[in-house]
């Protein structure tokens, strides 16, 4: 029997377009003699639609799309993920009941209509972590079971469908995405399904993240071995978002033999049709067909860059295509973040479609100004310089000369106020104006460390249409920059930019020529902040202090031995630094992140709706924290 | 038996403070001879914590708080809502298992420790709509049941606790919040619990919304009648938020007799202790004790204003207190939205703590400028005028005179570009600068109609620390403004402001002296947009066209008969208008909302994280929509 895996691109909410793409795959698969063609989870509508599932129009349009696929199906079975709506039943929110499900179209109709209690195979396990909100919209098979335990036994709900090829009937067990990731659930769908099945298929819509590839491979290998069945996994390609967090979908579909060997794998972020023959439980790869795509992204996915960097480029490329972005203005300071951002957009949109803008005040060194210009030359991108000094001076004067304001007892034009005036002048006045005059956008170049503690100005450097770098720690920004220089064989990102101390250059105290810069010590704070944001059971200063007291902090944070002592000679200085940044992270930075642009997700935990937050500072006053803090402060050192 | 309902204020994440408040209630209740004191759901930590539940520190601090309440309890039973953590079991996200639960502290320990399978009463039903994400963090009793059906029968999990008073044992059935709202769930906790119980108690953390009060009363009356039990309902007071959406909690606790009569009700947005005696199923009110609060809010909750307006004032007042906001700068244009905003903040913070700023360009009429000044006089609030013309001119010049920019083939300083330059100049340059120089904040004055279609400029009038009006349609903005004038007995909000055509005054085409203004026709668009946002099964243009074709649109939208024909003489003009606004609502406006400030929620559906959205336009190309559109356009009129 011949199985085709359609590692297809799915465009959110573009039902017509997605149906057309399924048909293209069907056409090619049929010519290749495929018996069963498998498309990903929710491949008609997309999966991350926010609350659009509440519009009955979407439900009707999806139903119409199914029917057309059912009607046009041939002897080849088409397995695809979509939405099953039960108009006469209610979801727990009182709206029509919706189930995330797998369908089989064959011989002009829904092949599961008479054989399966729900006409489809419902997803059994509902993820409700990170980006996933399944229980908000979908009624899973466990809920069906709890309502009607007799007629909806788990086994019956997971029943395979039968496919006969050359007079041999095979039983194909289908599950949907999370059903495979059953580690923390009482119900184990694959183990229930395997004894009834000859072949197992999982259809997914699973976003890229840094650590996932290895975990996914291992999980599938274990599942194939545990079930002793050939296991096929199909994932989509493209981008989808949950509003504030933007994901790439990397494909990397898999065919795994019952002994756990990976027999085939789809390409990274590329649309492909993968074809395999299965006989007696053995899988033989037949071919791996590249799909035609309107814009060629292979220079992004096949470069010598690290996987994570390719993921960022590919995701950004899909985003720009779907948002119809043709031009990008980028504020370049001569620093590393904006240099990386410019290089990235130059790869994705081409240098001709950029405008790099340097906006000096009298605090900006001639060195950084030169590096900004040099970056533009290296990239062959258009460049201009627009100074902000006169506008900043005008603002200062207007505030000072407005009588009722300047006489007000609370009035003070402090250093901080004037620093933020500069940042807002650059972004909200100039960059936004330049980008609009060129009918394009401008990005926010903040990295993850800055985003964690809100080291940015709202309506200033925190603004933009998207934050492509906000899921990269500062050390990763350097790594990516160096990778580009290596890839291109010369200093695209100027050496000076790579070596200078990071600085916002907003005041005389941030003079880079005197080696002065940001208050963040990235080799330490990157890793401290990471423990607050990315650990699955997230750290707070309590965990940090416990680790500090035990003397294991450096190994727990994976930072060089001796670094903490060097940076913080006393416990008091260590604790003060910790509390200062925690207070920002849980306070003002939340307010900034709530108004920040969407973040491209790359790690296992990105800011945005993957990291849900409330506007309520978390001041550490509980006795657990206080007692350990007092103990630490009582000792002068930990020798 | 004497029951006390602690309608207490809960402050998010302030465990120490909340525990102290519970103790204050305990102290007063004991003096009043209360047998059972009931505190709300999640009253120690707050309920809306985003993903902070992932920090084990929070779990430990909560556990510590419980233990202290258990240890200090007397013969009076203390019922309270909090978090039960099962360290040896896993949640479905792989983190420690957490259950939203009710506890009973009595005689120095956890009174449910030996009698109840989970040591507490777990919430049975998990809401996953609107603001609620219960399944993301909490393992409900239905999941416990599905894992261990034998030992965790629903009845056993909902078992009442026994309280003996004057040698009479009463069985007290406790449920948590959603357990009461069981309409759309297969499991009906109250009906399972009632036969085992003499008295029913529901502890809640239920945000205010416009339509909820009546529904809540009716629901509780029905439940008391259906179970034939006295039913007590306790809700908290204060504010909590889910990041982008800010809620008020209105209290309004209830005591309902078995015949469905409401015997007592807590005050709106005020902290109270409500005391009742229960004998033989009858409830007798004993007293309603007002709690001392640091700032007196009674002038807000007891005014003659409509309920919804009082809810807005109270919520805003809690928000300002918790965010430590002492000063507010407000841009006042002379228009209705900013006038309402200024009046609102003047009520909440006092007029001395405001700075009203008018920022005219040469497009602003002397009329609106005068009204802005007049508003400040009426409110007795400080006022200043800072013109933007010179800065806007500087920006225009800088863009025109930057060679590489002005020569660029894409460069165009269109009318739209210059309108947005003005809006950003006002907010990001001036208002942000003024607010910072006064160590305060500035609000965003956008209403719900503008927010729906993004009729605003990002980093311009879309910016601010909070959107107090973004859950009010334009007609409600007028209603609120008129209520203030009535309340205060004179035109606080100037008559001119109330009567002028709404206009952004950003171009010569928006000249109010010639009666020109916004492209939105609020008496129609308010109601059209409402159907897209607030209907439970949300409308799209498909539903609008179907209703238009049937001739029922005006009644479906609750707008005056004949209005649609007057505004749109042809079907073509009707459809064009519909598609134009829909395209903005589902496209560019989403991008703006994602970067907009948090919204104070008042309706049954506010923007923010109550209305989850994705950055992907929804262009209507499906054949359902196309066919009805063609049919409508084919007819010239519908006589």
Q: Report the pLDDT averaged over residues B120-130.
A: 97
Q: Within 10 A of A556 (CB to CB), how many other CB atoms are there?
A: 17
Is the Cβ–Cβ distance between B173 and B201 less than 8 Å? yes
Residue A466 has pLDDT above 90, yes or no: yes
Q: How confident is the model at residue B639 (pLDDT cuts 50, 70, 90)?
A: very low
| A436:B420 CB<8 A | yes
| A463:B93 CB<8 A | no
| A439:B412 CB<8 A | yes
Is the Cβ–Cβ distance between B10 and B17 less than 8 Å? no
Q: How many helices (H) and strands (E) does chain B have?
A: 25, 20
Q: Tell me what pLDDT residue A637 has.
A: 54
| B93:A403 CB<8 A | no
Minimal Cα–Cα distance from A639 to chain B, Å?
A: 27
The token duo for A288 is 């791996």
List chain B residues with CB under 8 Å of A16. Answer: 621-622
Out of A481-495, A612-626, B188-202, B437-451, least confident range = A612-626
Given its phi and psi angles, is residue A176 left (phi above 0), alpha (psi -120 to 50 degrees) or beta? beta
Distance CA A337, CA A335 (A): 6
Choose among B57, B405, B463: nearest Cβ to A384.
B405
Q: Scanning every residue of chain B, which has its alpha carbon at the shortest distance from the alpha carbon of A19?
A: B622
The token duo for A187 is 């119900």
Exposure b/e, B160-184, CB count within 10 A at least 16 = b: bbebeeeeeebbbbbbbbbbbbbee
* B566-577: pLDDT as tens digits: 999 999 999 999
Residue B221 has pLDDT above 90, yes or no: yes
| B412:A240 CB<8 A | no
Choose among A322, A410, A623: nearest Cβ to B439.
A410
The token duo for A587 is 């306070």
Burial class (CB in 10 A: 0-12, 13-18, 19+), A389: middle
Choose among A90, A91, A186: nearest Cβ to B147.
A186
* B20-77: pLDDT as tens digits: 999 999 999 999 999 999 999 999 999 999 999 999 999 999 999 999 999 999 999 9
Q: Looking at residue A124, what DSSP letter applies? A: -
* A548-594: pLDDT as tens digits: 999 999 999 999 999 999 999 999 999 999 999 999 999 999 999 99
Task: List the one residue out of A128, A49, A53 whose CA is nearest residue A98.
Answer: A53
| B463:A465 CB<8 A | no
Residue that wins the pLDDT comparison between B99 and B165: B99
Residues 6+ apart with CB under 8 A from B566: none
Q: Tell me what pLDDT residue A112 has.
A: 96
Choose among A240, A384, A432: nearest Cβ to B402.
A384
Q: Tell me what pLDDT residue A162 has.
A: 95
Distance CA A125, CA A59 (A): 22
Distance CA A123, CA A104 (A): 14
The token duo for B274 is 């409500």
Q: Within 10 A of B390 (CB to CB), how many other CB atoms are there?
A: 14
| A607, A613, A617, A618: CA torsion to nearest 10 | -90
Q: Scanning every residue of chain A, which has its alpha carbon at the shortest distance from the alpha carbon of B623?
A: A61
Exposure b/e, B308-344, CB count within 10 A at least 16 = b: bbbbbbbbbbbbbbbbebebbbbbbbbbbbbbbbbbb
Residue B149 has pLDDT above 80, yes or no: no
| A323:B399 CB<8 A | no
Q: Tell me what pLDDT residue B153 has.
A: 85
Is the Cβ–Cβ distance between B30 and B76 less than 8 Å? yes
| B93:A133 CB<8 A | no
Distance CA B222, CA B208 (A): 20
Give B203's strand partners.
Answer: B176, B234
Per residue, what are the HEC states of B131-149? CCCHHHHCCCHHHHHHHCC
Task: List the one residue out of B455, B476, B460, B450 whose CA is nearest residue B344.
Answer: B476
| A579, A583, A586, A588: CA torsion to nearest 10 | -160
* A106-130: pLDDT as tens digits: 999 999 999 999 999 999 999 999 9
Among A340-349, A505-514, B511-520, top mean pLDDT goes to A340-349
Q: Tell me what pLDDT residue A515 has.
A: 86
Distance CA A483, CA A307 (A): 11
Minimal Cα–Cα distance from B412 to chain A, Å?
A: 5
List chain A residues with CB under 8 Å of B429. Answer: 391, 395, 421, 424-425, 428-429
Q: Scanning every residue of chain A, which has its alpha carbon at the shortest distance from the alpha carbon of B357?
A: A405
Minimal Cα–Cα distance from B271 to chain A, Å?
A: 21
List chain B residues with CB under 8 Å of A416. Answer: 436
Full-model pTM = 0.97
Task: List the one residue out of A334, A309, A338, A349 whose CA is nearest residue A486.
Answer: A309
Q: Report the pLDDT averaged over residues B469-495.
A: 96
Choose among A399, A408, A428: nearest Cβ to B459.
A428
Minimal Cα–Cα distance from B217 to chain A, Å?
A: 19
Out of A53-62, B143-152, B481-490, B507-516, least confident range = B143-152
List chain A residues with CB under 8 Å of B90. Answer: 184
* B247-272: pLDDT as tens digits: 999 999 999 999 999 999 999 999 99
Q: Scanning every residue of chain A, which has its alpha carbon at the shortest distance from the alpha carbon of B329?
A: A405
Give B97's strand partners.
Answer: B86
Please report, for residues A103, A163, A331, B318, B627, the alpha-carbon distance to residue A70 in angstroms, rounded to integers and kept in the order given: 9, 16, 51, 56, 21
The token duo for B306 is 């409509």
Q: What percent of chain A has pLDDT over 70?
A: 98
Distance CA B334, CA B504 (A): 10
Residue B128 has pLDDT above 80, yes or no: yes
| A12:B46 CB<8 A | no
Q: How confident is the model at residue A31 (pLDDT cuts 50, 70, 90)?
A: very high
Chain-wide mean pLDDT for chain A? Answer: 95
Choose among A398, A594, A624: nearest Cβ to B598.
A594
The token duo for A419 is 């620093």
DSSP three-state, residue A521? coil
| B612:A94 CB<8 A | no
Minimal Cα–Cα distance from A417 to chain B, Å?
A: 6
- Chains A and B: how many Cβ contacts under 8 Å? 344
Minimal Cα–Cα distance from A146 to chain B, Å?
A: 8
Task: List the one residue out of B45, B47, B31 whose CA is nearest residue B130.
Answer: B47
Choose among A11, A46, A433: nearest Cβ to B421.
A433
Choose among A16, A54, A133: nearest Cβ to B622.
A16
Identify the residue among B543, B546, B588, B622 best suited for mutation to test binding to A, counting A beta carbons within 10 A and taking the highest: B622
Minimal Cα–Cα distance from A63 to chain B, Å?
A: 11
List chain B residues with CB under 8 Å of A52. Answer: 614, 618
| A614:B56 CB<8 A | no
Q: Tell me what pLDDT residue A639 has.
A: 44
CA atoms within 13 A on the CB side of B246: 29
DSSP three-state, residue A225? helix
Is the Cβ–Cβ distance between B468 and B344 less than 8 Å? yes
List chain A residues with CB under 8 Å of B458. Answer: 432, 463
Whole-complex ipTM: 0.97
Exposure b/e, B103-122, CB count within 10 A at least 16 = b: bbbbeeebbbeeebbbbbbb
List chain B residues with CB under 8 Å of A147. Answer: 186
Residue that wins the pLDDT comparison between A165 and B592: B592
* B374-409: pLDDT as tens digits: 999 999 999 999 999 999 999 999 999 999 999 999
List chain B residues with CB under 8 Å of A42. Answer: none
Residue A295 has pLDDT above 80, yes or no: no
Chain-wide mean pLDDT for chain B? Answer: 95
| A421:B438 CB<8 A | no
CA atoms within 13 A on the CB side of B78: 31
Residues 6+ apart with CB under 8 A from A469: A337, A340, A341, A344, A445, A446, A447, A448, A477
Is the Cβ–Cβ distance between B254 and B220 less than 8 Å? yes
Q: Using the Cα atoms of residue A134, residue A135, residue A141 and residue A142 in order, give the sign of their dihedral.
A: positive
Minimal Cα–Cα distance from B166 to chain A, Å?
A: 39
Choose among B15, B416, B590: nearest Cβ to A622.
B15
List chain B residues with CB under 8 Å of A18. Answer: none
| B432:A425 CB<8 A | no
* A243-278: pLDDT as tens digits: 999 999 999 999 999 999 999 999 999 999 999 999
Choose among A146, A394, A434: nearest Cβ to B405.
A434
| A408:B93 CB<8 A | no
Choose among A57, A427, A433: nearest Cβ to B417.
A433
| B399:A436 CB<8 A | no
Choose among B49, B96, B142: nearest Cβ to A146.
B142
The token duo for A202 is 């999982």
List chain A residues with CB under 8 Å of B614. Answer: 12-13, 48-50, 52, 240-243
The token duo for A30 is 């049929």
Place of tokens 């698969």: A29
Separation of first and last alpha carbons in chain B:
69
Minimal Cα–Cα distance from B408 to chain A, Å?
A: 8
- Helix A415-424 × helix A389-401 angle, to 10°: 130
Q: Tell me what pLDDT residue B319 has.
A: 97
Identify the residue among B126, B129, B130, B327 best suited for mutation to test binding to A, counting A beta carbons within 10 A and taking the highest: B129
Q: How confident is the model at residue B13 (pLDDT cuts 50, 70, 90)?
A: confident
| A13:B614 CB<8 A | yes
């Amino acid at each position: 029997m011949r199985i085709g895996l359609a590692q297809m691109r799915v465009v959110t909410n573009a039902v017509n377009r997605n149906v057309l793409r399924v048909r293209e795959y069907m056409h090619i698969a049929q010519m290749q003699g495929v018996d069963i063609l498998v498309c990903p989870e929710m491949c008609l509508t997309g999966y991350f639609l926010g609350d659009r599932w509440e519009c009955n129009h979407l439900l009707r349009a999806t139903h119409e799309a199914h029917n057309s696929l059912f009607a046009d199906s041939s002897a080849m079975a088409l397995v695809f993920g979509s939405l099953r709506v039960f108009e006469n039943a209610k979801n727990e929110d009182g709206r029509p009941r919706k189930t995330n499900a797998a369908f089989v179209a064959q011989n002009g109709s829904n092949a599961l209509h008479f054989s399966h209690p729900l006409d489809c195979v419902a997803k059994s396990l509902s993820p409700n972590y990170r980006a996933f909100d399944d229980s908000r919209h979908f009624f899973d098979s466990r809920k069906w079971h709890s309502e009607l335990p007799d007629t909806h036994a788990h086994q019956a709900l997971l029943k395979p469908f039968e496919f006969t090829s050359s007079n041999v009937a095979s039983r194909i067990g289908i599950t949907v995405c999370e059903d495979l990731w059953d580690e923390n659930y009482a119900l184990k769908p694959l183990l229930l399904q395997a004894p009834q099945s000859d072949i197992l298929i999982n259809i997914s819509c699973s976003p890229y993240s840094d650590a996932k590839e290895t975990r996914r491979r291992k999980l599938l290998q274990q599942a194939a071995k545990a079930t002793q069945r050939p296991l096929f996994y199909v994932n989509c390609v493209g981008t989808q978002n949950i509003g504030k967090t933007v994901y790439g979908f990397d494909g990397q579909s898999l065919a795994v033999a019952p002994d756990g060997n990976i027999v085939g794998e789809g390409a990274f972020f590329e649309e492909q049709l993968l074809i395999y023959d299965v006989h007696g439980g053995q899988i033989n790869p037949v071919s791996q067909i590249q799909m035609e795509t309107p814009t060629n992204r292979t220079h992004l996915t096949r470069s010598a860059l690290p996987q994570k960097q390719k993921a960022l480029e590919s995701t950004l490329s899909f985003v720009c295509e779907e948002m119809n972005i043709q031009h990008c203005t980028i504020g370049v300071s001569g620093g590393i973040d904006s240099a990386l951002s410019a290089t990235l957009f130059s790869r994705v949109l081409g240098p001709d479609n950029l405008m790099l803008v340097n906006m000096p005040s009298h605090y900006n060194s001639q060195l950084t100004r030169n590096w900004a210009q040099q970056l533009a030359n290296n990239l062959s991108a258009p460049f201009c310089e627009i100074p902000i000094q006169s506008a900043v001076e005008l603002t200062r004067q207007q505030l000072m000369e407005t009588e009722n304001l300047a006489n007000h007892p609370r009035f003070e034009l402090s250093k901080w106020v004037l620093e933020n005036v500069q940042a807002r002048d650059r972004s909200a006045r100039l960059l936004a104006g330049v980008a609009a005059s060129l009918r394009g956008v401008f990005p926010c170049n903040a990295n993850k460390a800055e985003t964690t503690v809100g080291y940015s100005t709202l309506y200033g450097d925190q603004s933009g249409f998207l934050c492509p770098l906000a899921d990269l720690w500062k050390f990763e920004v350097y790594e990516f920059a160096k990778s580009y220089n290596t890839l291109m064989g010369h200093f695209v990102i100027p050496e000076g930019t790579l070596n200078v101390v990071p600085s916002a250059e907003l005041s005389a105290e941030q003079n880079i020529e005197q080696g002065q810069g940001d208050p963040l010590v990235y080799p330490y704070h990157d890793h401290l902040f990471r423990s607050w944001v990315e650990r699955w059971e997230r750290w707070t200063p309590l965990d940090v202090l416990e680790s500090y007291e035990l003397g294991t902090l450096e190994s727990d944070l994976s930072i060089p031995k001796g670094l903490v002592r060097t940076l913080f000679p006393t416990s008091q200085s260590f604790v003060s630094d910790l509390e200062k940044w925690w207070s920002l992270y849980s306070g003002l930075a939340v307010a900034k992140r709530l108004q920040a642009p969407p973040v491209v997700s790359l790690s296992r935990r990105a800011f945005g709706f993957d990291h849900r937050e409330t506007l309520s500072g978390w001041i550490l006053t509980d006795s657990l924290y206080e007692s350990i803090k007092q103990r630490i402060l009582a000792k002068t050192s930990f020798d």
